[in-house]
Amino acid sequence: MNKRGCLRYTASLIGLICFLCLLSSCAGGPDPTPLPDGTVEVYYLADWADNETTAELLASRAYQPAGEELISFCLERLFTVPDDEDLRSPFPPDTKPVSHTLEDSLLTLDLPEAFTALTGPDLTMAEACLTLTLCALPDVSALQFTVHGAPWPPQGKSLFTAADFSLDALVLRPVYRTLTLYFVEPGTMKLISEEHLVIIRETELTERYVLKRLSDGPKTAGLFSALPQDAPQPGVSIDKNICYVNFPAAFYEMTPPFTHELTIRAITKSLTSLDDIEAVQFSRDGQNAESYGEVKLDQPVR
């Protein structure tokens, strides 16, 4: 290993050690520091794709509702994309509770059908965000979830209190992955590989991090990203070893920094370097993209 490689390895190792120290020192449960009167604390997921150094799985932000009804205010915040780029809502996009009722300090939330798509750790994190936020409000001591009036999930626990969740004992764990990403060497117009060490939530799609890092650009001087500047982050899903990458229509109108072919090849080679991905199907606003410039995309790209 050359000197530069040794320095990069040492820096990565130090970063991992610091991260583990932070993780082991995280205190469980909500922050005991009292909030100012009239302030509420709303819990979100910490977005590791944009902030890999955080040791938090959940993070809270304080708001002052200015006289608004507190339960409705908190629900609106929970189901809306946070202003803070390092946070994200744990709920499917464009969803919100159907109704809520409060009786004898038990708050019942009737949730939309989309909530049933959450399973395993994703469901646990959504339950934690709702419970830690709402059970801290006056007159709310417990929370119950229903979908179309029926308890959710159908089997298992559907009634929670804040004591059910500890911020350092939630089910998501950090996973360390080395990604092989491809960037452009302008002089030769070749794609050159780089290895990037990332920290990922255990249920998060690794493919999402591949695309984010490609957009961020390379570490090596003289290499450049093949993606257009300010390219939007696409939706990503996996089915039968094919990665479906759904860019908005605006992406296909952007001028790439090199060629359309290099952009598609950089994305495809980076994603297919993952063990379980054999090809990439590009989409445009949810429909198969016919082409990107001169590159045909009507079939999965390998």
3-class state of residue 25 by DSSP: helix
Considering only residues 57 and 146, tell me which one the structure prediction assigns the higher pLDDT: 146
Handedness of CA 219, 224, 226, 227 (dihedral sign): positive
Considering only residues 9 and 70, tell me which one the structure prediction assigns the higher pLDDT: 70
Per-residue burial over 49-61, b if 16 or more Cβ lie within 10 Å, else e, is beeeebbbbbbbe
pLDDT band of residue 87 (cuts 50, 70, 90) is: confident
Q: Is the pTM of this model over 0.75?
A: no
Percentage of residues in the chain having pLDDT higher than 70: 77
DSSP H helices in the chain: 3-25, 70-78, 120-134, 206-216, 249-253, 260-272
Percentage of residues in the chain having pLDDT higher than 90: 41
Q: What is the pLDDT of residue 9?
A: 39
Q: What is the pLDDT of residue 202?
A: 61
Q: What is the pLDDT of residue 121?
A: 64
Asked whether the predicted pLDDT for residue 10 surpasses 50, the reply is no
pLDDT band of residue 20 (cuts 50, 70, 90) is: very low
Give the max Cα distance, the chain. 71
pLDDT in tens, 99-116: 999 999 999 999 888 787
Q: What is the pLDDT of residue 52?
A: 46
Highest mean pLDDT among 32-46, 235-249, 250-264: 250-264
pLDDT band of residue 229 (cuts 50, 70, 90) is: confident
Q: Tell me which of 1-10, 66-75, 120-129, 174-183 is least confident.
A: 1-10
Give 176's strand partners. Answer: 199
Q: Which of these, 114, 145, 141, 133, lies nearest to 75 by C-alpha position?
A: 133
Domain parsing of the chain, residue ranges: 28-164, 175-296
pLDDT band of residue 33 (cuts 50, 70, 90) is: low
Q: What is the pLDDT of residue 123?
A: 77
3-class state of residue 24 by DSSP: helix
Q: What is the pLDDT of residue 29?
A: 42
Asked whether the predicted pLDDT for residue 243 surpasses 60, the reply is yes
